[in-house]
């Protein structure tokens, strides 16, 4: 199953499946009458419902507050302006989705349409009113934005981390709720461990998510910063970056190294080097395998308490799940 299909199923799981007969519901005609935001109501249902005017009502723009769980902080002005022109010419094809909070409404889905409506000079916009708690709104915001290719990976990471903290959830629990691989969440959240300078380069589009992930095993901020500068300056590909990082961690001296490679270190077999690389990619940090005449040891590096907690949770995840199942 492709990643896009998995994400689509995640959205369907939150909002429902249009092929499920149990997803049918009679919507109230009054604008302020809410309909439960059922876990089996799909976003595609909204499009079908929007074709029937009785299923949506117009709500004044100044009565709608932004979604506080929206991961996206940067919107393309040109794209919003283009959408506004489309609204003027063709009207809106799909209403936004809101929930009622007190005597006002809070956006659940449709941030770009809401912004475009304001630019188009509209006073109100078609909307469907649903009931949803904070947790469900946060999950929907995550799923909806995961499917957008232009969303900054750090914005995704921040939305994941915020959810985990606010709802005291584990990465496994969130992965199950939004129907994505746990590794998708883990790999994005790890980006928050990078130095501020590197994260700024990601925001600026100078580094991709692949570049950023390749820098994680380096561990030390100074070295990560130097690698990031070289990537931005010379336009290194993700593959070239991964190779440079691997060379550096293997004791060789790539062109970007800020410190000379260690001399006189014992040469490691290709098998050991390969195992170290597998562990680095899995754990997102530097890992050393040190062999002795008999036995040896595996050294897992961490730079602060937060990274230790992340590694501890990752390594004990299966044990904890087994314990709960027992």
Output the DSSP codes for 177-206: HHT--HHHHHHHHGGGGS-HHHHHHHHTTS
List the one residue out of 285, 276, 277 whose CA is nearest residue 186.
285
Look up the pTM and report it.
0.53
256-282: pLDDT as tens digits:
444 433 433 445 666 677 777 778 777
CATH topology of domain 3-155: 3.90.1530
* CA quadruple 66, 71, 75, 79: dihedral sign: negative
Whether 51 has a pLDDT exceeding 70, the answer reads: no
Please give the backbone phi and psi of residue 287, each rounded to the nearest 5 degrees, phi first.
-130, 130
CATH topology of domain 186-317: Arc Repressor Mutant, subunit A (1.10.10)
68-119: pLDDT as tens digits:
888 777 777 888 888 899 888 888 888 888 999 999 999 998 888 999 999 9
Whether 292 has a pLDDT exceeding 50, the answer reads: yes
- C-alpha angle 156-224-230 in degrees, rounded to nearest 5: 100
In the chain, the N- to C-terminal Cα span, in Å, equals: 31
To which residue do tokens 């492709």 refer? 2
Catalytic residues: 111
Answer yes or no: are the C-beta atoms of 61 and 45 closer than 8 Å. Answer: no
> Which residues of the chain form CATH 3.90.1530.10?
3-155
87 is written with which tokens?
A: 């609204």
Residue 187 or 292, more confident = 187
Provide the pLDDT confidence category of residue 24 given band limits of 50, 70 and 90: very low
> Which residues of the chain form CATH 1.10.10?
186-317
Task: Quote the longest CA-to-CA distance of the chain.
Answer: 79
């Amino acid at each position: 199953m492709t990643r896009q299909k998995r994400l689509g199923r995640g959205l369907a799981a939150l909002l429902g499946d249009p092929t499920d007969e149990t997803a049918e519901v009679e919507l109230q005609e009054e604008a302020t009458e809410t309909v439960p935001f059922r876990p089996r109501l799909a976003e595609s249902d909204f499009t079908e419902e929007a074709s029937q005017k009785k299923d949506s009502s117009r709500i004044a723009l100044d009565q709608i507050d932004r979604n506080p769980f929206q991961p996206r902080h940067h919107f393309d002005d040109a794209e919003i302006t283009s959408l506004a022109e489309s609204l003027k010419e063709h009207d809106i094809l799909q209403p936004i989705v809101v929930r009622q909070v007190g005597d006002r409404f809070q956006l659940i889905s449709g941030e770009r349409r809401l912004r475009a409506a304001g630019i188009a000079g509209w006073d109100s916009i078609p909307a469907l009113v649903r009931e949803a708690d904070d947790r469900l709104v946060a999950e929907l915001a995550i799923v909806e934005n995961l499917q957008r290719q232009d969303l900054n990976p750090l914005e995704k990471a921040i939305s994941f981390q915020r959810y985990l903290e606010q709802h005291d959830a584990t990465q496994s629990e969130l992965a199950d709720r939004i129907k994505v691989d746990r590794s998708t969440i883990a790999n994005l959240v790890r980006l928050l461990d990078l130095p501020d300078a590197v994260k700024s380069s990601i925001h600026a589009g100078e580094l991709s998510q692949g570049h950023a992930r390749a820098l994680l095993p380096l561990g030390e901020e100074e070295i990560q910063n130097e690698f990031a500068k070289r990537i931005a300056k010379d336009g290194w590909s993700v593959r070239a970056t991964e190779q440079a990082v691997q060379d550096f961690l293997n004791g060789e001296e790539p062109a970007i190294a800020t410190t000379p490679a260690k001399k006189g270190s014992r040469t490691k077999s290709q098998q050991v080097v390969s195992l170290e690389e597998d562990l680095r990619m899995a754990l997102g940090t530097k890992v050393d395998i040190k062999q002795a005449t008999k036995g040896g040891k595996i050294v897992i590096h961490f730079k602060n308490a937060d990274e230790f907690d992340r590694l501890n949770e990752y390594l004990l995840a299966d044990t904890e799940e087994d314990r709960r199942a027992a």
